Structure 1
């Protein structure tokens, strides 16, 4: 064999061995690739399933969140509505508060004014109470003095009554003595027979007197026989120039006379009223 043929055979053998090695390596590598591909596909499917489950879970969560968001939106709408109502109520309460504040301010001003008036009235009341206490004290003093004066007046009245009665008795005795002296025993110089009733003095003019005592319907005046008053005379009673009534004399003494009131026109007769006889109207 030639050298070239040997070389060719050697090269062919080397090529065959190399090809076999390469083929075996390729086959082994291809098997590994298939395993890797299958493993990758399995992992991909697992990941896809996991992602699908995660997606479904996420979609469910999103749906739930959507419902929660819708519920939250509805709640927000309700809260906004309530907030609007609360705002309206707050505005109403604010207006009411402002009105009440103004009313309170007015009431406070009125209370302050009333307090000032009350303070003034209280001061005046205290002053009036002090004056009242002073007046009460003075009144007690005056009552004490009045009681003493009344007692003194009663004493003087009793004394005047006694003196008046004594004076009246003395006047009657004096008048009787004068009549007895003027008559004398038998006929006197005047020619009046003994035992005859002396003629009463005639009335020469009007008689004016004043009421000195009133007892029910019986009135006494301060004019008597010495002034020409006689029983049966009718005196005109008046007060401040106004007619009061008529007084018919039925009792006559030297310096006073008395009788019953008739035709009373203006209330009861009072002490101090005027009495007149023979006075032309």
Structure 2
């Protein structure tokens, strides 16, 4: 390879690196801006996250949390702001990633990829909603039910720490949000030719085991959280089988029309 050839290959690489840096700066800027915004409203956001606790308690006067370290509230707000920034800046980050890889894709690949950019945040929001209105209230209701408020006996009350409550609901939102991406992941694998609907049907029993293992790892060590994640994920697996089958029919129809 001549010196001119080497220089010619370096030029596109440098251009790609410059573009990648610009995309990363925009994504980071979006995260920083949303971090500052979320930190400014961290108390209000935390109060919103307390809604599942209120639903479980039934009375706002029964919702009591504590903090046991001088800077626990500060670090909790910082952690909450970072989580909120990652959530709200995701559309910008995903757009920057897409714009970086899009020039290397064919038109049909772009058309096939775009629906997943929309489906990914929607499914994540659905998973977060399941946590907010079903899983977390169930966990808190169960926890409240373990209190001992018997006259003549020692009083045992639920007084969760602000940091531990945030960690719990964030863990569940993250776990459910990722698990609800299953249809997207399996459909992409099917489009790439790695799997098909028959493969998913044949491996269903293994999928069930893996789902329960994942639920045990991703959620707190209680049966309610694990079942709340495992059952919807299994339903999503079945929905993925249907989605992959529909994609196969559409592909076969397109091949038949092209052949005809």
TM-score (norm 2): 0.26
Bigger radius of gyration? 1
User: Quick check: which one's helix share is greater?
Assistant: 2
User: Quick check: which one's strand share is greater?
Assistant: 1
Task: For CA contacts below 8 A with separation 6 or more, give which structure has more relative contact order.
Answer: 2
TM-score (norm 1): 0.25
